[in-house]
Amino acid sequence: MKFLDRHTLGLIGLWAAAVGVALSVRPALPVDETRYLAVAWDMWLESHYLVPYLNGEPYSHKPPLLFWLMTAGWHVFGVNEWWPKLVAPLFGLGCLLLTTGLSRALWPDDKETSTLAPVLLFGCVFWTVFTTATMFDMLLAFFALAALTGVIKAWRGDFWRGMALAGLAMGFGVLAKGPAILLHVLPVALSVPFWGPYLAGSPAGVGRKRWYLGVGCAVVLAAAVGLAWAVPAAISGGEAYRDAIFWGQSAGRLVNSFAHARPFWWYAAVLPGLVLPWLIWPPLWRAFKRLPEVFGDGGVRVCIVWMATAFVIFSLASGKQLHYLLPEFQALALLAARLINIRNADGMPGCRFDALPAWVMVAIGALILALPVLPLSSRGATIAGEANTLWGGLVLLLGVGVAWKSAGAALNVRAMQLSALSAGLVVVVYMALAPVLSERYDVGPLARQIKKYHDAGKLVANFGKYHGQYHFVGRLTKPVPVMGLSAIDEAAFLGPNPDGYVIAYYKKIPKTAVPDFVFTFRHRFAVIWPAKTVIAHPALPRRD
């Protein structure tokens, strides 16, 4: 029970609140979450544990670890929706605990930093939102933390066990999201001359030849773990699948990422907003002023290498997504916690602006309350009208309470209050948007209608690219053919299936014929047409 102090128990409670509300009110969101659930569902149905499948075709975009964990839970609990949606959040909880562990490995004599770092991590609203999502990034962040903990342990004297931990963690990171794990770990492992001799309480260290031999062995172990799945999967999946997992998930992604989809400065522009509310927390700004003074701290150098190299690499690659940098939020939290505690150790007083984030949350709560009367766009007004904006009052009250309570409180208590306020904001947003998510993002009604057609022996085709969004939600056991990508596939479906059905998507439903089923999806309509109607009106299913 070493990690379970009152702050850790408090964080676990906040995590449980945010995740519990997300699982209760938020459906699996198309297209990513529903697609991953569909892959796991196909794996469960057909026992495709070696090669994942989506809608009857090998799915090569992601390795299988998340899908294995989802199906493993179904073997224990039976098929349900809550377990697969809980897997990634559990790794988010693990990240909080491993952040504490890595902090103690970096600064063994600084208990305050190990207490504060996970509080700062969970307090990032962006990180808290993503820890409730069914995606691969929390798995990647968890294994990156575990691997870096192994690297630090290896330098501190537990050499081969530390390198074994690093290798195994990187290997499981490969199974979680491919070779991207190396970008988060190897820069730190290879730059040991920059940080190793400066770690507090560090022994004499390890000779460079032995060190790099150990790093090489860790990489070989990681490759062995990944290849233990990839080689038999490549043999079983065929040539196209083999090329996809060996090229598409590694070098191919790197090459294709230089297509300049987003400019190199994009991460620099968006990152400040991703670290709210800490960006506007004065104690953090005052602490970062001391960064030049503590640059000789080995743990600080580890965090800087960890963040800077990943930031530069992902900035140079044009294929940018906000969540790609989630593993670096742990480094930011560790660095910020260390700097804050060094400054706080000097007994420097706070100021009246320290409650600024709480007052900003008050303003956000007031804004949520006022949404129905604000001059919004037609789409924004529709969402505001459907949302339960009264929940904004809870954020407002919590913000006032934190602003009032924080006066005179110890710094770690103030940080915990703000972290709780961030979790409260996430809960309130989910609760406020629950009607919108249920009406516009839950594909359940449409998926269950497809299931009825399947049970009656009728096939249903999707006009346009299909991402598997109906498969798990509707518990479909038959594929959904795709048509509309070429004239050939239209004829291939409509000819043999004149009594089938076609799903098409519109901003405005055509008046040409009477649909069989209409479903509001986001701000469009998903319409099911009888195949005979589409045969009679060939242009009917094309998007407007």
3-state SS track over 323-384: HHHHHHHHHHHHHHHHHHHHHHHCCCCCCHHHHHHHHHHHHHHHHHHHHHHCCCCHHHHHHH
**Paired tokens of 129:** 């939102």
- Residues facing 528 on adjacent strands: 503, 517
**Paired tokens of 538:** 């060939």
Same domain, 497 and 400: no
Find the distance separating the first CA and the last CA of the chain, reported in whole Å.
59
Same domain, 227 and 252: yes
Residues (pLDDT < 70) of the chain are 1-4, 202-205, 248-261, 343-352, 407-408, 543-544
Same domain, 427 and 466: no
Same domain, 494 and 416: no
How far apart CA 376 and CA 6 sit, in angstroms, is 44
Say how far residue 313 (Cα) sits from the centre of its chain: 19
Domain annotation covers residue 185: yes
What per-residue confidence (pLDDT) applies to 117? 94
Beta strands (DSSP E) in 25-154 are: 53-54, 57-58
Domain annotation covers residue 493: yes
What per-residue confidence (pLDDT) applies to 268? 87
How far apart CA 510 and CA 515 sit, in angstroms, is 9
**Strands across the sheet containing 482-483:** 482-483, 460-463, 501-506, 524-530, 517-521
Tally the residues of the chain. 544
**Paired tokens of 105:** 């490995």
Domain annotation covers residue 405: yes
Same domain, 149 and 192: yes
Are 132 and 426 in contact by the 8 Å Cβ rule? The answer is yes
Domain annotation covers residue 305: no
How many beta carbons lie within 10 A of that of residue 140, not counting itself? 25
Q: Which domain holds residue 525?
A: 444-536
**Paired tokens of 298:** 């080995």
What per-residue confidence (pLDDT) applies to 461? 95
Are 439 and 520 in contact by the 8 Å Cβ rule? The answer is yes
Same domain, 403 and 513: no
Same domain, 468 and 401: no
**Paired tokens of 32:** 């990513």
**Paired tokens of 118:** 């996970």
3-state SS, residue 293: helix
Same domain, 252 and 224: yes
Are 362 and 400 in contact by the 8 Å Cβ rule? The answer is yes
How far apart CA 96 and CA 309 sit, in angstroms, is 22
Those residues with Cβ within 8 angstroms of residue 217's Cβ, 6 or more apart along the chain or in another chain: 163, 167
Phi-psi region of 260 (alpha: psi -120 to 50; beta: other; left: phi over 0): left
How far apart CA 395 and CA 198 sit, in angstroms, is 44
How far apart CA 230 and CA 245 sit, in angstroms, is 7
How far apart CA 119 and CA 72 sit, in angstroms, is 31
Kindly provide the b/e burial profile for residues 470-491, where b requires at least 16 CB atoms within 10 angstroms of the residue's own CB.
bbbbbebebbbbbbbeeeeebe
Same domain, 148 and 245: yes
Are 515 and 529 in contact by the 8 Å Cβ rule? The answer is yes
Same domain, 156 and 234: yes
Those residues with Cβ within 8 angstroms of residue 69's Cβ, 6 or more apart along the chain or in another chain: 87
- 438, 464, 484: which is the final residue of a domain? 438
pTM: 0.92
Kindly provide the b/e burial profile for residues 405-439, where b requires at least 16 CB atoms within 10 angstroms of the residue's own CB.
ebeeeebbebbbbbbbbbbbbbbbbbbbbbebbee
Domain annotation covers residue 88: no
Q: For residue 11, give the nearest of 422, 425, 341, 419 by alpha carbon.
A: 419
3-state SS, residue 319: coil
3-state SS, residue 478: coil
**Paired tokens of 6:** 């009152």
- 214, 230, 256: which is the final residue of a domain? 256
How far apart CA 325 and CA 141 sit, in angstroms, is 9
- Specify the number of domains making up the chain: 3
Are 134 and 30 in contact by the 8 Å Cβ rule? The answer is no
Same domain, 228 and 140: yes
